[in-house]
Amino acid sequence: MAAFTVVPVAQLPVAPAVPAVVIPQVGTAGGASPAGTAAAAGGAARAALGVASLAAVAAAATRRPRGVARLAALNGLATRAVAAPAPAFGRSWAASCPRGDASAMTMARCAASGAGAKTLHVGVVGYGLVGKELVSQLLTNAARLESELGVKVEIAAVARSKSMVLLPPSGDSALADGAWPSGEVPADLGKLADHVLAAAKASGGRAIMVDNTASDAPAELYEAWLAAGADVATPNKRAGSGPYQRYEKIMAAAQKGGSRFLYEATVGAGLPIIAPLQNLLRAGDEVVAVEGIFSGTLSYIFNTWKPGMKFSEVVADAKDKGFTEPDPRDDLSGTDVQRKVTILARECGLKLELADVPVKSLVPAALESWQPADGAALGDAFVKELEAYDSEMDSLISEAEAAGEVLRFVGAVDIKAGTASVKLGRYPKDHPFA
């Protein structure tokens, strides 16, 4: 029986190099096919997530699922063949994605053959770095979206953690340059969604809710939004990795409401990983395993760290460059990778809960609940405490080097075994992860 393994190599938080999705073993119903590779240029984390959300908005406008995976047309993230050296982040590969599929003409044809909604009304939940980037791109590309997709995209409402603004028709210009419009009221995401849906009903168009947060609160409302007919696009991992019963209800609500749950950006940011996996499954291929380095921060750390270097200094370097969270433990704990692996496992049909995915945390047990002294910078103070464990980490990398191997922080799904895991593993230097 034919089978394949999908191996996304790295998700980068910035773009000094080309991250890649590598597919080293591919099989079809008719037998083995040649190995394929794919790469897409990335941007800063907020740009990558903003573009992924923008692509999802475009997909909703055209009513064509493939639009989610075609990121190039709207922000210059070309999926054309590209190869570049990436010494700090690992290997780079040449893309095999057809550039023509991402062209404006192709997307316009998709729009013409879609449902033909005249206006797509957007509700934006989360107006921080990612939310502002998304809004900026929507406003900047409004004319192009309308001319090339045949759809007018209009932001109907925006929400921050404690307040929101319900905009009048054609009132989204008030959001230009990251501005916060007047007329704010206390945040109520239920009322915000009702406003967006009412705007869509009045214009005969469609509604889409874009959740740019990392909060569980909006995810609790996805079911209601989808059932009411609003599409939902998000980089928020909470729904896909949260309670499985809620996950099932969200997926069922999309079918009930004739809407779509678009979550490509939950794994790989701007890289198309989920959609290709879905397409391969729909084509009848059998997925044996999914493995990848799903953290851009940990990808940088382990590609930078070499024998003789102190682990704490490499973490400090990543922190100083803005690659880590303000609390580096959020990256080193592996929880973010755990959520991504859970999402991919569910895509492959495994009914796993987040707690079913064991994680090898890189945070020393003594520092898991540690807190800095009053007034101390958390990140700097943590790195200082981490220095006490450099010798322990040094033994790990020295042993790997002696065996001709490298250390990589990898998430894996074993479909046949019905399991998933996140761990620090050793790999030969000629392995795609090396």
Which residues carry out catalysis? 340
| Pairwise CA distance, residues 223 & 306, whole Å | 47
Q: Estimate to the nearest angstrom the gap between the alpha carbon of 418 and the chain centroid.
A: 23
Residue entry with tokens 């969200």: 250
Contact between residue 125 and residue 192 where contact means Cβ atoms under 8 Å apart:
yes
Burial tier of 295 (Cβ tally within 10 Å: 0-12, 13-18, 19+) = buried
| Pairwise CA distance, residues 307 & 205, whole Å | 59
Angle, in degrees to the nearest 10, between helices 142-149 and 104-112: 60
Point out which residues pair with 36 in neighbouring strands: 23
Instruction: Report the chain's C-alpha Rg in angstroms.
Output: 22
Contact partners, residue 200, CB within 8 Å, separation at least 6: 119, 121, 206, 207, 229, 230
- Token pair, residue 49, equals 């997530």
